[in-house]
Amino acid sequence: MLERAMKGHIPLDVVQNAMGAMGPWHIVIAVALSLVKFPVAWHQLSIIFLAPPTNFSCAAPISTTNESTIMKCYIDVGNGTMEKCTSFKYDKRIFKESIITQWDLVCDREQLANFVQSSIMFGVLIGNLVFSILADRIGRKKPLMIAIGLQSLTGFITAFVPWFELFVIFKFISAVATGGTMLVSFVLLMEIVGVEWRSIMSVLFHVPFLLGHLMNPLISYLTHTWDGFQMAVSIPSLFLLSYYWIIPESPRWLLAIGKLSKAEQILLKAAGRNKIPVENVKTAIETYENNMGARSKQNKEKYNITHLFRTPNLRLKTICICINWFVCGSCFFGLAQYMGYIDGNIFINVAISAAVEIPGTIAVLLLISRVSRLKILIAGNLLSAISLLLLIAISNSNFTVLLATLGIAGMSLSFPTIYLYSSEAFPTVVRNVGVGVGSVCARIGSIIAPYIATMGKIKPWLPPLIFGTAPLLGALLCFLLPETMNCELPETIEDGENFGKKQTRKNETK
């Protein structure tokens, strides 16, 4: 092992041998890190209960005719003169107060509710970028705690703001923090668990997000007001700060920047909890100490996003993968919002759609080590596509809920799969960049999603048509991608370019 390290090859299992692949130490940290996913779901998927569909009627000016003023933005004030409504009355039987009733987000201000959700998703995108830079510069732990504190503080303040513009600003800042918590916590988890556990843990790590989504309708049902909901989902984040002493800094990051003594302290604690020999820790530290010069020479060449598009085969894979990320982001978050506009009880509809994601995720967990990644991705996309396209021809409310729910179930198969597939398909030298670009595409899709979800007010068949066509395209593009299961992963740009070509040639010779 030391001989390999002296040649400049630092195997991942040097560090893993020092702290174990999975043990009591890992489990405690994994559980603590996974708890941050609850607020992620509460903040990202809250718009349907902050701005639920609301019936209204024009309160002023007064109509001079007997014509109904329900859902009317202009009123006949006499002699055929139509005037714009300046005051509204709202149906508050289900929701006592929402941001729609608070700031009159109806008629020409109707799209402002969608703007709120787009701002949230844009904030998550910015948070991913900002906190990824911070995590590389100052470590994983400090940015994570900063993000958790900022998320809780701004989320709580949001419940008390008097103006809509201020509401949007604080929701955006809270979303930036949310983007930080979801990214840094995942990176830290992947850096402490063993390679053989990463695919399983990446799926399990998503479960608290699903449970958080499932809790949203319950929280809203108990509060019945947007500000009560906002406070309820912000306060728990404060308790997450108590995990400051439980969550360690990433020993891999500490070793990478040369802070060997601090890394040794963490590795010794991990080894003690997991009953790993202390000699393994000493070996890891010696390996990194002897290799600091070799690594600095290897890190001189810098890779960036342009390397993903410089060669034809890697360019094609990048485009196909990014489109699938976009499909997952737009359809998952769009359908989550669309469920609130389907006829029936909004709390039950959203709860059903959230509950069905759990068996979908369990299915991925059971299949991910046994079935081709592309087969799972294609199956998830086709399930969503077929279910949503059938919605165009079916008007029965019960079947509508069922089909829309199946659409979300399909996305719960596709989303974790494209994440894992991306981490395997891109070569090592641009793997983080590749996954990052894919994640950005998903965020762009989620920014657009609210406007698609509310297109049903124009034509009822528009949302299911758009949401159904997108995963169908994603499934077709999968046939242009190579399988990564049980394959030696590409390391260099040349490997990434050749990855998939060799498989095709083998198939042609058979």
> Would you list the DSSP string of 144-210?
HHHHHHHHHHHHHHHTT-SSHHHHHHHHHHHHHHHHHHHHHHHHHHHHHS-HHHHHHHHHHTTHHHH
**Taking the model in full, what pTM does it have?**
0.85
State CA 357 to chain mean position distance.
Answer: 14
User: Each residue of 444-482: pLDDT tens digit?
Assistant: 999 999 999 988 888 889 999 999 999 999 999 999 999
Distance, in Å, from the CA atom of 135 to the CA atom of 143, rounded to the nearest integer, reads 6
Question: Quick one: pLDDT band at residue 301, thresholds 50, 70, 90?
Answer: low
Tens of pLDDT, residue by residue over 478-505, are 999 998 887 777 777 888 888 877 554 4
Q: What share of the chain is helix, strand, coil (3-state, %, to 5)?
A: 75, 5, 25
pLDDT confidence tier of residue 7, bands split at 50, 70 and 90: very low
Percentage, residues of the chain above pLDDT 90 = 39
Residue 12 has pLDDT above 50, yes or no: no
CA 204/CA 27 separation, integer angstroms? 12
Say which residue the tokens 């729910």 belong to.
Answer: 405
- CA distance linking residue 153 with residue 170, whole number of Å: 10
- Reported as a single tens digit per residue, the pLDDT across 348-407 is 999 998 998 888 888 888 887 788 889 999 999 999 999 999 998 887 777 888 899 999
Burial of 231 from C-beta contacts in 10 A (0-12 / 13-18 / 19+):
middle
pLDDT above 50 (res 5): no
CB 440 within 8 A of CB 410: no
